[in-house]
Chain A
Amino acid sequence: MIRTDRLEKRYGARRVLRGIDLELPREGFLLVTGPNGSGKTTLLRVLAGLAAPTRGKVEVDVHRGQVGFLAHEPLVYRELTALENLDLFGRLYRVSERRERIGMLLERFGLWDARSERVADYSRGMSQRLALCRTLLHDPELLILDEPYASLDEKGGALLDHELDELAGAHTLVVSTHDPARVAPLATQRLVLV
C-alpha cells in the first residue's frame, strides 16, 4: 500500500528526512516514533501527499480521496459550526448519506450537543475531536494520524483508543506518537526516526 525508497526531504539546507525505506502492506499499522524534530510530521505529510520528497521515491497506492489525515491543527474553519464544517468536507469528499454519517460521528465523539456552535468557541480538546470526525468522515482506506493523542482530553483519548481498536486490521494506519506504549499493541510495524 505504501512504499518509500531512500526518501529524503530537505527544507533549504536542512535535511529533515534521510534515506527512509519503508514498506507498509494493506491493513498494516505503522507506528512512527522519535524525539521532537526528528521529522515525524514531515514524513506523515509526505505520505499524505502534502509535501514532495526532495530525493527518492514514495508510492501510495491509494487515491487522495481515500486518505484521511489528522494533523496537529484541526483543519476546520473557525467561523463555521461543526455541522457546517463537516457538511462542507462531506460534499468535497462525496460522502454518501452525508447527514446520517455526520450525525453518527458527532454523537460518537460527544460533539452532538455542540454541533451548532462555532469552532471558535470550542476548547482545544473539542476541536481535535472534531478534527477526528473530519478525518473519519469519508471512511478512508488509509489513515495518517500525526500525534493524535497530543491535544485530546482524557475523554477524547479514550474515544480514540476505542476507535483505533476498531480500525486496526480493517484499514491501513500510520500513526506517529510520543506515547508509543498506548498504541504499540495494535501496531504491526514500527519506525523509529532519529
Chain B
Amino acid sequence: MSSAFARIQGLPALAAFAAGMMGLALLLAFFIAPEDGDQGISQRIFYIHVPIALTAYFCFGLGAWKALLLLWRGEERHDLESYVAIHQGTIFGTLTLITGAIWARASWGVWWSWDSNQLVLFLTLFLFYCAYFMLRFSLPEGPRRARSSAVYALFGVALIPVSFLAIRLAEDFIHPTTFTRDGPQMTGTMFTAFCVSWAAVTLLAYVLYRVELVGKRLHTDLRELREALE
C-alpha cells in the first residue's frame, strides 16, 4: 500500500496552492480589474464563467486521452482516470451552465439563449457526457465496462467539431440572431485577471481530479483487502 502514500504526497500542498490561486483570482476579478463600461458588474462573472467552461472542455479532453490510453495500452488504471476526469468535466460543465445563465440574466435579462452557438454546442456535449454515466452505471464492473466507456468518451471528442459545424449551419433556420455577444475588449489588467483566473480554475480542477482519484483508489484497495481476508 506504499503506492497509496506516494499518490497522496504533495497533494495537500498543491491543494493549498490552488486555493490560494483561486482567492487571488477572485480578488482580481471582483475588486481590482476595472469595471467594463457596457455591462457593469455582471461582466465580472465572465472572469469565472469562461475559465470554468474552458476547464470543462479540458477535463473532457483529459478523459478522452485517458480513454485512448486504456484502449491502446490496456492498463486498467486508465479506466478510473478517464472516469474521474469526465466526472470533473460534468461538474465544471454544470457550473458553466449555471454561471452562464447568471451572466446572461445579468447582461441581457434572459436565462437562456438558443442563439449562442457556444451555448448549444456546450449543452449537446454536456448531455452526451451525462449519458456516459448512465452507460457506466448500467454495465457490470469489468473490462467490458471500461472499454465501452472509453470508446464512448472518444466519441464525445469526435462530436465536438461535427457539432460545431452543424450548429454553425443551423443558424440558417434557427431564428436569426437578434444580438451578438462580442468578446469583451480587454485591457491589460483585465487580461491579467482573466489569465490568473483561468490558471486558478484549471489548477483547481486538476487538484479535484487527483483527490477524487486517490479517494476512489483507496476505496478499491480497501475492497480488495477485505476480499483477501475472506
- Residues of A at under 8 Å CB distance from B? 10-15, 52
Contacts and interface: CB of A to CB of B under 8 A. Distances in A.
Contacts of A13: 223, 226-227
Nearest to A52: B143
A11 B223 contact: no
A150 to B, nearest CB: 24
A12 B227 contact: no
A11 B141 contact: yes
A12 B140 contact: yes
B227 A11 contact: no
Q: How large is the interface on B (under 10, 10 to 19, 20 to 34, 35 or more residues)?
A: under 10
A12 B143 contact: no
A175 B140 CA distance: 28
Nearest to B145: A12
B142 interface: yes
Interface in B211-230: 223, 226-227
A58 B60 CA distance: 35
Contacts of A14: 227
Nearest to A15: B227
A108 B48 CA distance: 76
B117 to A, nearest CB: 42
Interface string B132-144: 0000000011110
Interface of B: 140-143, 223, 226-227
Contacts of B223: 13
Contacts of B142: 11-12
Contact of B140 (A11, A15, A52): A11
Contacts of B227: 10, 13-15
Contacts of A10: 227
B78 to A, nearest CB: 15
A10 B228 CA distance: 12
A15 B226 CA distance: 11
13 contacts: A10-B227, A11-B140, A11-B141, A11-B142, A12-B140, A12-B141, A12-B142, A13-B223, A13-B226, A13-B227, A14-B227, A15-B227, A52-B143
A12 B227 CA distance: 11
Nearest to B230: A15
A11 B227 CA distance: 12
A90 B141 CA distance: 34
Given A12-B141, A13-B223, A13-B227, 10 more contacts: A10-B227, A11-B140, A11-B141, A11-B142, A12-B140, A12-B142, A13-B226, A14-B227, A15-B227, A52-B143
Contacts of A12: 140-142
A43 to B, nearest CB: 16
Nearest to B74: A52
A15 B141 CA distance: 12
Contacts of A15: 227
A15 B143 CA distance: 15
A54 to B, nearest CB: 8
A52 B143 CA distance: 8
Contacts of B140: 11-12
Contacts of B226: 13
A14 B141 CA distance: 11
A10 B140 CA distance: 11
Q: 9 tightest CB-CB pairs across the interface, nearest first?
A: A12-B141, A52-B143, A13-B223, A15-B227, A13-B227, A11-B142, A12-B140, A11-B140, A11-B141
